Structure 1
Amino acid sequence: MTTYIVLMNWTEQGAKNVRDSPKRLDAAKKQLGEMGGSFKSFYLTMGEFDMVSVVEAPDDAVLARFALMLGSGGSVRTRTLKAFPEFAYREIISSLG
């Protein structure tokens, strides 16, 4: 599984219907699970982004489809970062020579 950091902001529609946000999160967790992935953590945040989640998915294509599905709902906009765990970080750095 590949790890991704998903940064989210509510759209105007999402903010207007913020009380429905927990239901939308539950639906997103179910959808990603059906796609073979999972949420590892979720945070409401202060600052540039409204929410941040750490998710896992089988590959980039699955996560891309998931992010497009989230965006098409009209309540959030996402930015996705592919994350490398510490062991991969160490391997990448050590391969520099």
Structure 2
Amino acid sequence: MPGYEVIYANLRFTLPMDCAGDTTFEGKSQQIGRREKGFAADGVKILHFYMTTGTHDMVIISEAPNDEAMAKAILTQIAKGGITTQTSRAFTEDEYRAILDSL
């Protein structure tokens, strides 16, 4: 199954806080679970979640059956509002070796 790195890059993303002025943190941690269930509904498994500092607010490492499932999951989350994303396809070491061997 392909692996993906999803970077939430918008400071308006409401998980765990909304830097556009929301300082109410009550219930924010439950949003992680709701987003995870949303991804799961599209066949995407969240493997790791990290709150980060710097350019991006969060990084999610996930797994999807194919690129189409990942795209659908991301677009579904974007449609709910408040986020922008940057998604990268990650290749496993074995996949990387196969690519190199095919050259």
Question: Please, what TM-score do these two structures have when normalized by structure 2?
Answer: 0.81
| Pick aligned residue for 2:50 from 29, 32, 43 | 43
Alpha-carbon distance change, 9 to 21 in structure 1, aligned in 2, over 3 angstroms: farther
- Aligned ranges for residues 14-29 of structure 1 at < 5 Å? 14=14, 15=18, 16-17=21-22, 19=25, 20-29=27-36
Using the alignment, how far apart are the partners of 1:46 and 1:23 within structure 2?
21
Question: Please, what TM-score do these two structures have when normalized by structure 1?
Answer: 0.85
Matching of residue 34 in structure 1 with residue 41 in structure 2: yes
Contact 1:43–1:53, Cα closer than 8 Å, also in 2: yes
Q: Which 4+ stretches in 1 moved above 4 angstroms?
A: none
SS of corresponding position for 1:58? coil
- 2:54 maps to a residue whose letter is G
Size of the alignment, in residue pairs? 96
- Aligned ranges for residues 44-63 of structure 1 at < 5 Å? 44-63=51-70
Contact 1:11–1:74, Cα closer than 8 Å, also in 2: no
State the Cα distance separating 1:17 from its structure 2 match.
4.2
Structure whose residues are more often helix by fraction: 1
